[in-house]
Structure 1
Amino acid sequence: MNYEPGLLVAGRYRLEEVIATGGMGQVWRATDETLERHVAVKVLRPDTASEEGFLERFRAEAKHSAALQHPNIATVHDFGEGAHSAYLVMELIEGRPLSEVIKERAPLPAEEVTEILYQAAIALNAAHEAGVVHRDVKPANIVVDDHGYARLTDFGISRAIAGAQLTQTGEVLGTPHYLAPEQAQGQPAGPASDLYALAVVGYELITGNRPFAGDSMITTALAHVSQPAPQLPEDVPEPLRTVVMAGLAKDPARRPANGEAMAEALHLPVGTVPEELVAGAQSAVAPVVGGAGLLTPDPSVPTGAMTMPPHTPPAPASVTSPPQPSAVRRWLLPGAALVAAVVVIVVVAVTSHGNDGALLPLRHLSGTTQNTTQHATQDTTLHDGGNTR
């Protein structure tokens, strides 16, 4: 089915204009003629509507999104399927994706970053408590209005934590710049993976740059596994600095315990260091070496091999100073992921708002990192378009 302005969907929703396009569908501004209100109508793109995989994910998005009732999550109003397509009706959010905000005025003030991350963290906590993992947290999927009110959108590749998988074994869904290390290694995404992605968003809001990047989407994804996180500037105030860095820990167990814990840490008094997250923040910047075993401390590294640079924020006398650890160990990562037998399929969500990625189906890859990158380049399929939200 081809969609055009003026088309009436399900005898009720009058399409007006396309406001976003992605790898799976289009989002239209529309009018609900029954309730006389503006809505957003997401439809499968004509060239994907007949593919069962896309339709299954679309159904899953409708089911998962409808189960989430939270002020910081876009509300779903309706869902339906026709002979040749399907549609999802959501509230129309008046605002701008963070990807546009970052492009225009990053780095953002610490106070603004804190509030955006706080709202996104409590939204993710609500989703996780409802049993849903987003799997594609990125600036393009967080919409902020002129008053700083943030909404989490686009659960297009989300999954039920206890539900059936819609992906193949070893398949990774997400956007490379925001992909958690465990996802890049083919492990299932969990709530901690969403928090890692949110920490990447926080880093980008603070600095205007993403913490990890490569020459290709594969090397970018592997950078999350093989490279330590770059330090935030020392003038970034606490607790924001430690919370974001802890969220970037390679080991999911060293990140904030959940979205609520992350949000609470962000709202500690200005200048306060969240002590429970200091170890995670330190591990995020520890050197990474190739080896056998996932996220296993290297006992050969001597005490004091890596510590976070001292940071003394301007704060009142009640500020808690971070403990000075005697050692922060390097983390061993699978050499196979970096040198030999890389086996991963990455399907990257499409967006042009922040150049976050492209639809990139990759076959099983093997050989050196260099060969992997060349193979990936040959198999790349790019679809230009805006964010689907």
Structure 2
Amino acid sequence: MAVAGKVETKASTKLRMVECGGCRAKVFINGQLAPFETVPCSKCGHPVMVPVRLRQFELQSIIGSGGMGTVYRAHDLMLERQVAVKLMRKELVNDNESLQNFIREARTCAALNHTNIIHVYTFDQYEDQYYLVMELADCGSMDQRIEKESRLPELSILDIGIKVASALDTALKHGLLHRDIKPGNILFNAEGEPKLIDFGLAGSADVNLAHDGTIWGTVRYVAPEKIQRQGETFLSDMYSLGATLYHGLTGHVPFEAESDDAILMAHVSMEATPPDQVVPDVTHATSEAIMRMLAKSPVDRFQTYDELIMALTAARTKLLFAKYHTPHVEI
């Protein structure tokens, strides 16, 4: 029974227009959401949120999430530029190994100056939140492109290979191995430039890294010598890059099986099918270069990144010549 003179009203929801980090559409969401709370975008389902202020950075939308944390598209209010902010998961702060990996990623990237290595602007802690501020590369990753397009054009694969190999060479000259090359660790910026990310597992190249029982890397792209606990050098990164390029070029990883153990055994004991036998349109020069990167023994791979880059560049030149050269026909 209603009480005379009393009017019951439902609290109005304060709406706020935000940009979706997935489809970039402008959508309305509840402006009273808790900090970092997300709801699905009404257009594409990508998580959207109310912007959050972290020191001078306004975190606007989610780019992606991983085991270590979440990366946000953000606006630097002091320098008036778009950046990426990676927040470490709070539950990992007390995990010393995870924290050291996060710090190592920041220090490693900050020390490396290369167009195709993501640049770190700063690393800081606000209250109990650790975060990295990096250059923005929010136009998808290589694995997302593979998922969307099935396989990438040969010319794109060669360009990625040349640029990432150059980035790895710069890291090597600073005494570092990446140790986890895979399509998910290659991002693209608005200009289409590939950017190598995630140096959290980076190790010293000054010694032949031995294993403590753990295989550092990703099963579908890991080098045989790492699986066999024979240590690793920059040639292990080269193998992983070869597996990454193979995946992008053919739409298939070099070895597919029903279990991780079976895939690991294949890396050790099976030969991959040459890319030009999987996709007949692939040129022999490109196929041959990738197969040499995937050689079982490190001594059978290219022995320097310069040598690899020369081979990929030669394959690129042959591809372009074949594509644009029109034979003269006499009539």
Answering whether residue 310 of structure 2 is matched by residue 264 of structure 1, we say yes
Map 1:94-109 onto structure 2 (within 5 A).
94-109=138-153
CA shift digits 1:230-283 (9 cap, x unpaired): 22225421421111000000111111123222111111166869xxxxxxxxxx
Counterpart of 1:212 in structure 2: which amino acid?
Answer: F
Q: 1:50: Cα distance to partner?
A: 1.6
**Aligned partner of 2:169 among 112, 115, 125:** 125
**Aligned partner of 2:241 among 190, 194, 198:** 198
Map 1:1-389 onto structure 2 (within 5 A).
3=36, 5-9=50-54, 11-82=55-126, 84-145=128-189, 148-162=192-206, 169-234=212-277, 235=280, 236-268=282-314
Counterpart of 2:128 in structure 1: which amino acid?
Answer: H
**SS at the partner of 1:171?**
coil
CA contact (8 A) 2:177 2:203 kept: yes
CA distance in 2, matches of 1:84, 1:20: 21
Quickly say closer, same or farther: Cα 1:214–1:159, change in 2 above 3 A.
Answer: same
Higher relative contact order (CA 8 A, sep 6+): 1
CA distance in 2, matches of 1:55, 1:27: 16
**SS at the partner of 1:172?**
coil
Q: 1:49: Cα distance to partner?
A: 2.0
CA shift digits 1:209-249 (9 cap, x unpaired): 11112222232223211222122225421421111000000
CA contact (8 A) 2:136 2:189 kept: no
CA contact (8 A) 1:98 1:140 kept: yes
CA contact (8 A) 1:238 1:271 kept: no
Counterpart of 1:14 in structure 2: which amino acid?
Answer: E
**SS at the partner of 1:80?**
strand
Quickly say closer, same or farther: Cα 1:213–1:138, change in 2 above 3 A.
Answer: same
CA contact (8 A) 2:211 2:229 kept: no
Match of 1:354 in 2: none
Q: 1:32: Cα distance to partner?
A: 1.4
CA distance in 2, matches of 1:75, 1:241: 32
Q: Which has the higher helix share?
A: 2
Work out the percentage of aligned pairs sharing the same amino acid. 33
**SS at the partner of 2:241?**
helix
CA distance in 1, matches of 2:310, 2:258: 37
Q: Which runs of 5+ in 1 are unaligned?
A: 274-312, 317-389
Quickly say closer, same or farther: Cα 1:178–1:168, change in 2 above 3 A.
Answer: closer
CA contact (8 A) 2:120 2:134 kept: yes
CA distance in 2, matches of 1:63, 1:238: 40
Q: Which runs of 5+ in 2 are unaligned?
A: 1-34, 38-49, 326-331
Aligned length in residues: 274
Counterpart of 2:287 in structure 1: which amino acid?
Answer: R
After TM superposition, the structure 1 stretch with the greater mean CA deviation from structure 2, 212-221 or 16-25, is 212-221
CA contact (8 A) 1:25 1:44 kept: yes
CA shift digits 1:179-223 (9 cap, x unpaired): 111112234332111111111111112211111122222322232
**SS at the partner of 1:240?**
helix
**SS at the partner of 2:256?**
coil
| CA RMSD between the two structures | 2.7
What TM-score do you get using the length of structure 2 for normalisation? 0.75
**SS at the partner of 1:114?**
helix
CA shift digits 1:31-63 (9 cap, x unpaired): 112212111111211222221110011111111
Counterpart of 2:220 in structure 1: which amino acid?
Answer: H
CA distance in 2, matches of 1:140, 1:262: 22
Counterpart of 1:205 in structure 2: which amino acid?
Answer: G
**SS at the partner of 1:201?**
helix
What TM-score do you get using the length of structure 1 for normalisation? 0.65
Q: 1:21: Cα distance to partner?
A: 0.8
CA distance in 1, matches of 2:191, 2:60: 26
Largest Rg, 1 or 2:
2
